[in-house]
């Protein structure tokens, strides 16, 4: 089956992904009068990362009232940092309220997407064929699990799974549980499980700096006030946003006073809250705070000092049926093994094959590292737009704020097509090269470039992030500079 080709006044749009950004895109498209669109979702439900991840302790490290669509505030968040189930329920509620569900084709991933004769032609995993004038990739960033290549992993006799594929049928109470990794996920799992299992081993390759936070529980009176007084909710959001922008402005300048304040707070958190000197040194990173994605936790240090818990710093030699053998020769006996080893951060829309003008393959364009003009548009891939694409502010501030601005930017570009100003539009090569050059130079001054290994870095060791202030990002997103785009027709 193929859809009839759209007219100028009826632009046909395909959206890939029904997570936070895909739901947002559908709502905004309708707001701007577009109805000729469809969302393809690889799973059987909406939700993106909040569908994929269900591990114990799952929460967002962005304050809940900031991790909320601006047009759909939620007065009922239970605390400062909402849990995963709460966040998933929020997106599900929004998708139903705005009738997004009726626009989604579930259980259909898109392995092939090709621009032919001015039209994007796609083939789904079920063999369904579709075509459109515009493709918007709302596929997210951290959704392809990364499993460490450890000898013997497939020989483990107990239950073993990646944190993003949590097996809730596995009983944990009283069991010997090992978690490999020390990122945000591993820290949240630690705090949730350490007092519920028989023994808990945290296998640490790299120590992490932990920023102390207060996860305040909102009372019923406060939630009632938020429901009845929109100004009170707006004021809270503005207060949180101001604090968060302080962090966003700090990390882009490694020598800033704000960054020094954050480092001091992390160091004091470690010094004041880990009693045992030996454990404290195990947990002390040998790089600057913020160089890796900072951990935000109110209780990790308390949790890891539980009598059941052990931080294992000897390297992993191999995995055996009975557990993990470390380089010091010790076998750490386990019943359950959790790989909290993160995600492949530079996949974006891949493994989808995306072929642009003249058959140019996105894999070839990105053979060195992924790039896109303002993280949205790629030369020679007309009418193909990415949300939270390469080199965006994924580690700086709320992804919802980012996506809202990017969708507005993309809608202005699509507006050029709808108005008949052009049939094809994409960033030009010079604008993209110039942007990437100044972005990479600025990124080298950020805290992410101060000497650690992290998923922020591309294969050349350059931070793949937005290296400027939030205000500059929002200014850039306010209105496209059309001279930076090639327009045909």
49, 185, 342, 399 from 53: Cα distances, Å? 6, 10, 11, 17
Neighbouring-strand partners of residue 252: none
Q: For residue 250, how many C-alpha atoms fall within 13 Å in the half-sphere facing its CB? A: 19
- Give the span between the Cα atoms of 34 and 9, in whole angstroms: 9
In terms of Cα–Cα distance, which of 478, 481, 489 is closest to 432?
481
- Give the span between the Cα atoms of 437 and 485, in whole angstroms: 17
In terms of Cα–Cα distance, which of 22, 63, 27, 59 is closest to 40?
22
- Give the span between the Cα atoms of 485 and 385, in whole angstroms: 13
Say if residues 305 and 293 touch (Cβ distance below 8 Å).
Answer: no
Neighbouring-strand partners of residue 316: 326
- pLDDT at position 2 is 36
- Give the span between the Cα atoms of 78 and 92, in whole angstroms: 17
Question: pTM of the predicted model, to two decimals?
Answer: 0.95
- pLDDT at position 5 is 40
- pLDDT at position 141 is 83
| pLDDT tens across the length of the chain (489 residues) | 333 344 445 899 999 999 999 999 999 999 999 999 999 999 999 999 999 999 999 999 899 999 999 999 999 999 999 999 999 999 999 999 999 999 999 999 999 999 999 999 999 999 999 999 999 999 988 778 998 899 999 999 999 999 999 999 999 999 999 999 999 999 999 999 999 999 999 999 999 999 999 999 999 999 999 999 999 999 999 989 888 888 999 999 999 999 999 999 999 999 999 999 999 999 999 999 999 999 999 999 999 999 999 999 999 999 999 999 999 999 999 999 999 999 887 889 999 999 999 999 999 999 999 999 999 999 999 999 999 999 998 777 789 999 999 999 999 999 999 999 999 999 999 999 999 999 999 999 999 999 999 988 988 899 999 999 999 999 999 999 999 999 998
Which residue ranges form the domains of the chain, and what is each CATH number? 13-46+100-144+345-488 (3.50.50.60), 153-216+224-339 (3.50.50.60)
- Give the span between the Cα atoms of 324 and 316, in whole angstroms: 7
- Give the span between the Cα atoms of 329 and 374, in whole angstroms: 49
- pLDDT at position 7 is 44
In terms of Cα–Cα distance, which of 147, 182, 137 is closest to 370?
137
- pLDDT at position 9 is 59
18, 24, 393, 443 from 399: Cα distances, Å? 15, 12, 8, 19
């Amino acid at each position: 089956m193929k859809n009839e080709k759209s007219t100028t006044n009826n632009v046909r749009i395909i959206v890939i992904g029904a997570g936070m950004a895909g739901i947002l895109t559908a709502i905004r498209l309708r707001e701007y009068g577009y109805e000729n669109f469809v969302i393809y979702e690889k799973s059987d439900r909406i939700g993106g990362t909040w569908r994929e991840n269900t591990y114990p302790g799952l929460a967002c490290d962005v304050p809940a009232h900031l991790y909320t669509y601006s047009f759909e505030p939620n007065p009922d968040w239970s605390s400062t940092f909402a849990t995963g189930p709460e966040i998933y329920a929020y997106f599900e509620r929004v998708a139903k309220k705005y009738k997004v569900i009726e626009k989604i084709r579930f259980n259909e991933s898109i392995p092939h997407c090709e621009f032919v004769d001015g039209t994007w032609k796609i083939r789904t995993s079920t063999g369904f064929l579709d075509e459109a004038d515009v493709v918007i990739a709302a596929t997210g960033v951290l959704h392809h699990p990364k499993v460490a290549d450890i000898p013997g992993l497939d020989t483990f006799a107990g239950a073993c799974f990646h944190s993003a594929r949590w097996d809730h049928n596995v009983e944990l109470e009283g069991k010997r549980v090992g978690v490999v990794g020390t990122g945000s996920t591993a820290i949240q799992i630690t705090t949730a499980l350490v007092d519920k299992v028989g023994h808990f081993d945290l296998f640490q390759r790299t120590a992490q700096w932990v920023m102390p936070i207060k996860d305040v529980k909102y009372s019923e009176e406060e939630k009632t006030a938020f429901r009845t007084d929109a100004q009170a909710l707006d004021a809270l959001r503005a207060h949180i946003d101001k604090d968060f922008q302080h962090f966003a402005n700090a990390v882009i300048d490694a020598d800033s006073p704000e960054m020094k304040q954050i480092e001091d707070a992390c160091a004091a958190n470690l010094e004041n809250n880990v009693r045992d000197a030996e454990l404290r040194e195990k947990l002390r990173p040998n790089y600057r705070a913020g160089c890796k994605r900072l951990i935000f936790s109110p209780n990790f240090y308390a949790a890891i000092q539980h009598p059941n818990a052990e931080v294992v710093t000897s390297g992993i030699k191999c995995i055996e049926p009975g557990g993990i053998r470390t380089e010091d020769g010790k076998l750490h006996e386990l019943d359950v093994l959790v790989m909290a080893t993160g995600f492949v951060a530079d996949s974006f829309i891949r493994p989808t094959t995306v072929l642009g003008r003249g058959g140019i393959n996105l894999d070839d364009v990105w053979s060195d590292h992924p790039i896109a003009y303002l993280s949205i548009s790629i030369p020679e891939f007309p009418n193909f737009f990415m949300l939270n694409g390469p080199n965006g502010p994924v580690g700086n501030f709320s992804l919802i704020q980012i996506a809202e601005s990017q969708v507005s930017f993309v809608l202005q570009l699509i507006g050029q097509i709808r108005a008949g100003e052009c049939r094809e539009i994409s960033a030009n090569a010079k604008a993209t090269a110039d942007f990437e050059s100044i972005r990479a130079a600025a990124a080298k001054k950020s805290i992410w470039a101060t000497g650690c290994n992290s998923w922020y870095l591309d294969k050349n060791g350059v931070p793949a992030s937005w290296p400027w202030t939030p205000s500059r990002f929002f200014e850039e997103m306010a209105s496209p500079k059309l001279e930076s785009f090639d327009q045909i027709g």
